[in-house]
Amino acid sequence: MFIGKGHRIVLVLAGVILSGFFSALVSLIQYLADAEEVLPSIVFWLLGSFATTSWAKLAILLPCVFIAAYLLFRLRWHINVLSLGDMQAKMLGVSIKKTHWFVLLLCALLVATQVAVSGSIGWIGLVIPHLTRFFVGSDHRYLLPASFLIGRIFMIVIDTLARTLTSAEIPVGIITALLGAPIFTLLLLKTYRKKSL
């Protein structure tokens, strides 16, 4: 929606290249890490977990999250206009490139700060906004705050399950993947059926 077809391919390929490079770095760190003390914590972080979260980490995380979330909420009208298409956005005076890159930067800041603390917890960014859209619609004035709220509640429930299902704490990322994949599949099927009617 935001960028041309050729640029989309470049963006996808750049993502694949960066992903491959950093995966190799992570594998190297795992290979060189102390197998008894350091390696388990690395693996636990890679699977996604709140086990190592502390108030000191939250003190660094929260300002970044609040600033990025506030700025995204301020851009809610621009995001709504962009969802109408490039032509309509230009007619309504929205700078497509600037808004696009600013939104990407804010999303990257939100994701990076949270991954730094909890590791990679998959499916939340895909499932929660789509699930929320069924309840509040596509208007970002309501979709953004509702997604933040439902996402928080969902993660509290998942973390509670991770700590209580077994005697040992299960990494949160495993549970979100087990639940997220089927939920997202159902949401996609529901959307496809609506469009085909």
User: How is 158-197 classified by DSSP, letter by letter?
Assistant: HHHHHHHSSSSPPPHHHHHHHHHHHHHHHHHHHHHHHHH-
Q: What is the pTM of this model?
A: 0.80
CATH tag, 5-196: 1.10.3470.10
Cα separation, 120 vs 114, in Å, equals 9
Tens digit of each residue's pLDDT, the chain (197 residues): 445 555 678 888 888 999 999 999 999 999 999 888 888 888 888 888 888 888 998 898 999 999 999 999 999 999 999 988 888 888 888 898 899 999 999 999 999 999 988 888 988 988 999 899 989 999 999 999 999 999 999 999 999 999 998 888 888 999 999 998 898 898 888 877 877 66
Domain-by-domain residue ranges, the chain? 5-196
